[in-house]
Structure 1
Amino acid sequence: MSIKVENITKTYGIQKALNNVSFELKKGEIVGFLGPNGAGKSTMMKILTTYLTATEGTAQVNSFDVNTHKKEVQKCIGYLPEHNPLYLDMYVKEFLKFNANIYKTNSNRIAEVIEQTGLASEAHKKIGQLSKGYRQRVGLAAALLHNPEVLILDEPTTGLDPNQLLEIRSLIKHIGKEKTILLSTHIMQEVEAICDRVIIINKGEIVVDKRLDQLRTSNQQIIEVEFDYRVEERFLEHIPNVSNIKNSIGFVYEITFNTTKDMRPVVFDFAHDNGLKTLQLNQKNKNLESLFREITSK
């Protein structure tokens, strides 16, 4: 396992930031680590990178314990924190050389990571002259300098414009072909585009840990239907496989079914047989964003 977390708890006074958290990441996985603000994501990442010590439980990176083998763990990990710490008055190459000296890394790696992260055209500039997107590239380049097997990225695309976001997303996906990546973000489309698996944490506890393909093949589907007048929700419960009914607005209803069968024809026939006119009928997929809202709002 690249990362193994067992029963991690972290308390600040009487406040529990993490409560008995356990998960494992295999080599080569790109895992989206999701949760609302204050859920415990950054705390977990800081424990894995040895910046914080857990109150209880154990964690390992490449079989090295984060408490007893900190130096070995730090060598295994490339870390890009949420607030990317850069020296703005340093040139890109100068900053990377500075980091290479810290890691005692061969200076040949500087040219390699500049090429890998697409920084060649900006490498002669001071970091303070770069756009937010290129600054993130510098942070990623610094994290990759010592060629770590594990990357931990905390909100790597915060504040980027759509073009910059696509560039960094593509870069992370490319890097993920060779490395294990734990990626924290609030952008659900980003997770769906590049991640293999998603872990959702809420109030310090893991509430979902599934591969994205498992989430996409859920038996649950939502049909949005608009009738020509308001009907009692209990009347619609006579449709087969109904698990939930919500009158979203006016004469529009969201009907949730526990089946993989397309229920639109069934809803249409039910309406016709009971003298209802169907003004619109749509299938709504429960995407990651709606699942996230549903779980974290409970």
Structure 2
Amino acid sequence: MSLQIINLTKTFCEQIALNKVNISIEKNEIIGLLGPNGAGKSTLMKSIVGALKIDEGEIIFNKKNISEYPIESKKNMGFLPENNPLYLEMYVKEYLQFVANIHKISSFKIDEVIELVGITPEKSKKIGQLSKGYKQRVGLAQAIIHQPDLLILDEPTNGLDPNQIIEIRNVIKEIGKQKTVLLSTHIMQEVEALCSRVILIHKGNILQDCPINEFKGKFDTLEQAFAHYTQAETLY
């Protein structure tokens, strides 16, 4: 798996959402994408998966430009956006069969992914009947059912209770053993629990891209490091 983002720029009217962003990922790891609200995290994620058109720059995924090979690139990516888009009237297994058909993969993968994300007891229920935690698991299942090289998760534990957060973290940790995961979150404990590397974005610019221990540096907590870098940039 390789991902190179080269001078990526995205604007909305006069607002610069991404400003010549450069990122390189060459190995399987779980990476925390951090930044204040409006920093450009979701824009970056949507640009990588092809949900937003690139204004300037390039995204090279597995040595191919995603603008030139959009379908082939998307086949090897999984995406769980912040607002989990599920068909609430469909049954869990029915929905995952629908996703499997889109990817043209065998039905036997459905039960395998259902077990991995821990929704076996819920597989015969309608998605609309599930708790938010189980809906997130269904969203994770659709994102990984085709065994993508790159998994992108935008706030996957947002709004979950503490037990659900731990459960989803464990699922992500298991997936991260074999895949590259780019994880957006505001929860610093989540970053410490899951990530080996941190990318900090603020006002469309990459402020830090380094191992988590280097990011934390002299500070007692990740929260202190996050506040220092983003507030210093704001003051500047």
TM-score range normalised by the length of the shorter chain = over 0.9
Cα distance in 2 for partners of 1:11, 1:119 equals 40
Superposed CA deviations along residues 184-239 of structure 1, whole A, max 9, x for unmatched, are 011111001100100000000000111013234x3x3xxxxxxxxxxxxxxxxxxx
Whichever structure has more strand as a proportion of its residues is 1
Is it true that 1:183 corresponds to 2:183 in the alignment? yes
Cα distance in 1 for partners of 2:40, 2:94 equals 35
Is it true that 1:289 corresponds to 2:223 in the alignment? yes
TM-score, scaled relative to structure 2: 0.95
Superposed CA deviations along residues 115-154 of structure 1, whole A, max 9, x for unmatched, are 1111111111111111111100000001111111110001
Q: Which residue of 2 aligns with 1:204?
A: 204
Cα distance in 1 for partners of 2:154, 2:24 equals 18
Whichever structure has more helix as a proportion of its residues is 2
Counterpart AA for 2:88: L
SS of 2:207's equivalent in the other structure is strand
**Structure showing greater relative contact order (alpha-carbon pairs closer than 8 Å, 6 or more residues apart):** 2
Q: Identity of paired residues, percent?
A: 55
Q: Which residue of 2 aligns with 1:273?
A: none
* Contiguous gaps of at least 5 residues in structure 2: none
Q: Which residue of 1 aligns with 2:81?
A: 81
Q: Which residue of 2 aligns with 1:44?
A: 44
Let me know the Cα RMSD of the aligned residues.
Answer: 1.1
Counterpart AA for 1:142: Q
Q: How many residues align?
A: 232
Q: Which residue of 1 aligns with 2:20?
A: 20
1:18 CA displacement: 0.4
Counterpart AA for 2:198: V
Cα distance in 2 for partners of 1:112, 1:204 equals 39
Cα distance in 2 for partners of 1:125, 1:64 equals 40
Task: Tell which structure's C-alpha radius of gyration is larger.
Answer: 1
1:289 CA displacement: 0.8
TM-score, scaled relative to structure 1: 0.76
Counterpart AA for 2:210: K
* Contiguous gaps of at least 5 residues in structure 1: 221-284
